[in-house]
Amino acid sequence: MLSSLIEVPLQLITEAHHHPSFEQMACNGMASSSSSSFPSNFLFQMQTPYEEDSHLVPPSNSFLSPNLQGMSPLLGKRCMSYDEMLNEDELSDDGSAVGEKKKRLNIEQVRTLERNFELGNKLEPERKVQLAKALGLRPRQVAIWFQNRRARWKTKQLEKDYDVLKRQFEAIRAENDSLLVQNKKLQAEILALRGRETPDLTINLNKETEGSCSNRSENSSEINLDISRKPVVENRLPPHPILPSLQSLNQPEIDQFLHHSCKPELQSPKVENDAPETCFGNLLCNMGDQSVFWPWPDHHSFH
């Protein structure tokens, strides 16, 4: 299992450098060793022109991407090395560097973290430590990155859900509109028929059905057929179990409604996967189901 923790960074580094000996080394090293036992010449073999600056070369047994040491060639900014961050004299209580200003993670680090996040969004302690070592970060930083990443994912997911819900709503509204049109047509037909009806139609019909309906309740024979006397008052659809009376809403109200529909507390905070249909299904059908949240079926996909 441990080996797979390191796999992603190695793959990424390999992709970036296409170094045959490194690929071989990675495969061999992965099978049985953790990062600390990675070949000592690893960094030497992986050195880029940036690492030729001797004071930036990391310890020989550390398992770090070249870009994670010293200057980041991708951002042109200096990143703290793992050793720098392990210097206890310069660390505050939580392990962060005293007086250090915020530094963005470099592209290589972010890529690796992203890949790991795709494999599992929850960070097991072991994986955290391994990743931290591999990336030259403090475990705390890795944990924070995952935390923030989950928050970003959730925000995006909410946006997706909102879009799906909005489309669905618009479809329902269109259907409702067409039903209203149809309803009006039928009403017009009724009125037209009414003009041709004989005044005592109701009575005659009641008489004709009297015998066959004798065992019904008194009121049942009056079910209407008496359309001539009952005006159609309400032209609206019954309220939707979830959506409010659709036709009464204007656009801002619709937007507001949709906004509230996407409130975390109103919807399932867990979705089975990334598919919008599924998310929407959860929104509408599984309001109370909190069993699944992330798109990864198994949080421990490293095992």
Partner DNA sequence: AAAGTCAATCGGTACA
Partner DNA sequence: TGTACCGATTGACTTT
Interface residues with DNA (CB under 7 A) are 75, 77, 92, 94, 96, 101-105, 110, 122-123, 125, 140-141, 143-152, 154, 264, 269
Give me the least distance between CB of 238 and DNA, in Å please: 34
Give me the least distance between CB of 141 and DNA, in Å please: 4
Phi and psi at 91, nearest 5°, equal: -105, 145
Q: Which is nearer to DNA, 211 or 264 (CB)?
A: 264
Q: For residues 246 and 176, is the Cβ–Cβ distance under 8 A?
A: yes
Q: For residues 94 and 140, is the Cβ–Cβ distance under 8 A?
A: yes
Closest Cα partner for 43 from 23, 65, 24, 28?
65
Q: Which is nearer to DNA, 156 or 207 (CB)?
A: 156
For residue 122 the two structure tokens come to 């929850």
Give me the least distance between CB of 216 and DNA, in Å please: 56
Q: How many residues does the chain have?
A: 303
**Rounded Cα distance, 141 and 277, in Å:** 34
The number of C-alpha atoms within 13 Å of 293 and in the hemisphere containing its C-beta is 14
Q: Which is nearer to DNA, 104 or 185 (CB)?
A: 104
Give me the least distance between CB of 100 and DNA, in Å please: 8
Whole-angstrom CA distances from 65 to 10, 135, 280 are: 9, 7, 41
Give me the least distance between CB of 144 and DNA, in Å please: 5
Closest Cα partner for 112 from 58, 64, 76?
64
**Rounded Cα distance, 20 and 27, in Å:** 11
Sign of CA dihedral 252, 257, 260, 261: negative
Q: Which is nearer to DNA, 146 or 169 (CB)?
A: 146
Q: For residues 172 and 102, is the Cβ–Cβ distance under 8 A?
A: no
Q: Which is nearer to DNA, 56 or 153 (CB)?
A: 153
Give the distance between the most distant pair of CA atoms in the chain: 109
Give me the least distance between CB of 135 and DNA, in Å please: 11
Q: Which is nearer to DNA, 29 or 141 (CB)?
A: 141
Q: Which is nearer to DNA, 96 or 221 (CB)?
A: 96
Give me the least distance between CB of 53 and DNA, in Å please: 20
